[in-house]
């Protein structure tokens, strides 16, 4: 008989991640070597639009009522796998597609590795492969695309004020090309501009490593239903709605990006370099054991994660922009998603574009809304500035006004490379930003631009728990991330082993941490096990061991 485990943990409460994954009976590979220091929270399930709004503004992932995904779920006739595989017209592709092998992008593997890809000619081949596969199909103009309906189009987005059509009318949703679409002109306006839609078929065991979505957008996704009598390999994890969990999303905080994903090292080595959440020993994480720091909890130096369980036919998940995340597939499943930019969160778009242009060697997909609307003075005036100006004059919600201000500010910051505005339009934006009502509001602690610019502040003023600073070598113009700034003027060095960052002690000065780094680089030359022992010994020496 298949073992069944049910999620009973309280949303928003903090748990030890390794114990949680063990309790949920995940495969050993996800917890047997995991450090016990990692902490996580269960992603909230919002019971009202007001709750959704608050989580959205807080920058946390949030699950919503199943009714928002019902129309998409109803179209597959009770079982998404039967829907795709049993109908020959849908099952076979007009042209072969590329699927990703489970674990593509794991630390230490090369960025362009054909061995991590598979050519498939049908949905059935994805499920029958000798290795778990992940096939993501975007609904774009493509004669070779599978003959399946655009199920993501049926998703009902919450929060029309921030993520949909405005109260004066206009079609819910928007043009697939990310342009204005209906409802964007006279008589209506849209907050949300659809960028992309996708259907994803994943086999049990598929793992998608740390990544960001493509353009500072929100992603709204739902797991499609499976019939109750479908045989599943156990253990089966049931979510809050009593339905099988098909995917587990693990989200980090936005400001932990550089702690987790090591872009500069990846550019230098042409290999993926990021935190191996499931196989980084506690001794290789930053801690204060060899310093005189008196804070009580070493875990202050580590990010706390969010875990969101996506059920088959359950609650849709709304993912915030620019949040590093990985995804574990627990059962064969189909997920549909719609990606959209909100004009109330354009700071997220500028943040993403600046990161992509400065930190990434490989250019990501850039959506038409970014390439066209944001670079057309007339389009920006009609579909962005006019809407924000109108809402600012009508709303009494300070949280929305703060979002309007941050979006407008981001347009001025993006001028030139990412945004094209005439001087007249720029003056219009500046007048709005410096409006007494907007300028008097407090800063948005979770703003993408606040997170970005906090790295330039004096450490004593930083409000984020972890901020990674770049250190430029005196003998090279190549930037390298070698130190992490812990809150309250604390520092730690790190070096990379097999594509993973391993950390030294938390120090009270940058100079101490730089000395650690020199020793760590020398010790790494002796081999992985010798280096692991070196870090253990370093952290056993006690205060003053620099």
- Residues near 133 by Cβ (< 8 Å), separated by ≥ 6? 99, 100, 101, 102, 118, 120, 126, 202, 203, 206
Q: Could you tell me which residue, 59 or 461, shows the higher pLDDT?
A: 59
Question: Checking DSSP bridges between strand 304-311 and strand 207-211, what pairing results, if any?
Answer: unpaired
Q: What's the pLDDT at 472?
A: 29
- Of all residues in the chain, the percent with pLDDT exceeding 90 is 65
Gap between the Cα atoms of 493 and 503, Å rounded: 6
Q: What's the pLDDT at 177?
A: 42
Gap between the Cα atoms of 462 and 451, Å rounded: 10
What average pLDDT does the segment 504-526 reach? Answer: 91
Q: Would the CA dihedral through 452, 455, 458, 460 be positive or negative?
A: positive
Dump pLDDT digits (tens) for 171-201: 333 344 433 333 344 446 789 999 999 999 9
Give the lowest-confidence range in 103-117, 272-286, 409-423.
103-117
Q: What's the pLDDT at 482?
A: 60
- Of all residues in the chain, the percent with pLDDT exceeding 70 is 84
Q: Could you tell me which residue, 64 or 443, shows the higher pLDDT?
A: 64
Domain locations in the chain? 4-177+187-280+301-343, 372-449, 457-538
Gap between the Cα atoms of 110 and 148, Å rounded: 33
Q: What's the pLDDT at 272?
A: 93
367 three-state secondary structure: coil
Q: What's the pLDDT at 449?
A: 59
Number of H helices, E strands in the chain: 19, 20
Distances (CA, A) of 373 to 93, 108, 420: 34, 38, 9
Structurally, at CATH architecture level, domain 4-177+187-280+301-343 sits in: Sandwich (2.60)
Question: Checking DSSP bridges between strand 92-101 and strand 133-138, what pairing results, if any?
Answer: antiparallel
For the chain, what percentages of helix, strand and coil (3-state, to nearest 5) are there?
Answer: 35, 25, 40
Residue pair 215/195 in contact by the 8 Å Cβ criterion: yes
Confidence bin at 292 (pLDDT 50/70/90): low
CA atoms within 13 A on the CB side of 40: 25
Question: Checking DSSP bridges between strand 92-101 and strand 117-122, what pairing results, if any?
Answer: antiparallel
Question: Checking DSSP bridges between strand 236-238 and strand 4-6, what pairing results, if any?
Answer: parallel
Dump pLDDT digits (tens) for 207-237: 999 999 888 999 999 999 999 999 998 899 9
Q: What's the pLDDT at 488?
A: 53
Q: Could you tell me which residue, 447 or 132, shows the higher pLDDT?
A: 132
Dump pLDDT digits (tens) for 335-375: 999 999 999 999 999 999 988 888 777 777 788 999 999 99
Confidence bin at 114 (pLDDT 50/70/90): confident
What average pLDDT does the segment 128-153 reach? Answer: 88
Gap between the Cα atoms of 182 and 220, Å rounded: 20
- Residues near 431 by Cβ (< 8 Å), separated by ≥ 6? none
Question: Checking DSSP bridges between strand 317-319 and strand 325-329, what pairing results, if any?
Answer: unpaired
Position 455 pLDDT exceeds 50: no
Torsion of CA 349, 352, 353, 354, to 10 degrees: 120
Position 519 pLDDT exceeds 90: yes
Sheet containing strand 207-211, edge to edge, reads 14-16, 39-42, 304-311, 245-251, 325-329, 207-211
Apex CA 192: angle with CA 186 and CA 193, to 5°?
A: 85
**Minimal CA–CA distance to 256: which of 479, 40, 528, 33?**
40
């Amino acid at each position: 008989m298949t073992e069944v485990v049910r999620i009973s943990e309280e949303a928003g409460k903090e748990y030890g991640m390794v114990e949680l994954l063990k309790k949920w009976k995940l495969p050993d590979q996800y917890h047997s070597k995991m450090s016990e220091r990692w902490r996580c929270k269960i992603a909230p399930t919002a019971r009202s639009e007001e709750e959704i709004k608050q989580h959205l503004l807080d920058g946390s992932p949030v699950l919503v009522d199943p009714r928002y995904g019902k129309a998409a779920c109803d179209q597959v006739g009770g079982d998404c796998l039967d829907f795709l595989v049993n109908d020959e017209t849908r099952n076979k592709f007009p042209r072969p597609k590329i699927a990703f092998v489970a674990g593509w992008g794991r630390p230490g593997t090369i960025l362009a590795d054909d061995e991590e890809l598979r050519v498939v000619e049908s949905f059935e081949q994805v499920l029958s492969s000798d290795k778990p596969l992940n096939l993501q199909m975007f609904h774009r103009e493509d004669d070779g695309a599978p003959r399946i309906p655009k199920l993501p189009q049926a998703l009902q987005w919450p929060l029309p004020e921030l993520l949909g059509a405005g109260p004066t009318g206009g079609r819910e949703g928007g043009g697939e090309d990310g342009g204005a679409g209906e409802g964007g002109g006279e008589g209506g306006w849209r907050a949300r501009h659809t960028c992309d839609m996708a259907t994803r078929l994943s086999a049990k065991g598929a793992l998608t490593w740390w990544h960001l979505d493509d353009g500072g957008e929100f992603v709204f996704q739902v797991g499609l239903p499976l019939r109750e009598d479908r045989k599943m390999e156990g253990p089966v994890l049931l979510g809050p709605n009593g339905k099988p969990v098909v995917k587990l999303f693990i989200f980090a905080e936005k400001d932990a990006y550089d702690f987790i994903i090591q872009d500069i090292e990846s550019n230098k080595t042409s290999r993926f370099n990021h935190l191996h959440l499931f196989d980084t020993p506690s001794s290789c994480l930053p801690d204060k054991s060899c310093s005189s720091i008196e804070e009580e909890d070493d875990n202050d130096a580590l990010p706390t994660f969010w875990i969101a369980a996506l059920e088959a036919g359950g609650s849709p998940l709304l993912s915030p922009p620019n949040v590093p995340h990985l995804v574990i597939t627990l059962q064969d499943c189909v997920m549909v998603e719609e990606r959209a930019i909100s004009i109330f969160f354009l700071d997220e778009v500028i943040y993403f574009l600046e990161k992509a242009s400065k930190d990434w060697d490989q250019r990501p997909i850039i959506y038409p809304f970014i390439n066209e609307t944001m670079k057309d003075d007339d389009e920006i005036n009609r579909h962005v500035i006019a809407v924000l100006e109108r809402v600012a004059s009508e709303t009494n919600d300070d949280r929305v006004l703060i979002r309007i201000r941050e979006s407008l500010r981001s347009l001025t910051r993006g001028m030139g490379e990412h945004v094209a505005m005439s001087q007249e339009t720029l003056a219009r934006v500046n007048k709005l930003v410096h409006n007494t009502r907007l300028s008097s509001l407090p800063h948005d602690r979770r703003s993408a631009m606040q997170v970005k610019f906090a790295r330039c502040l004096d450490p004593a003023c930083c409000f984020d728990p972890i901020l990674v600073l770049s250190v430029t070598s005196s003998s090279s113009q190549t930037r390298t991330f070698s130190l992490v700034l812990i809150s309250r003027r604390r520092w730690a060095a790190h070096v990379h082993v097999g594509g993973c960052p391993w950390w030294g002690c938390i120090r009270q000065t940058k100079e101490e941490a730089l000395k650690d780094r020199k020793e760590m680089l020398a010790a790494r030359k002796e081999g992985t096990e010798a280096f692991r022992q070196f870090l253990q010994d370093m952290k056993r020496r006690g205060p003053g061991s620099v």
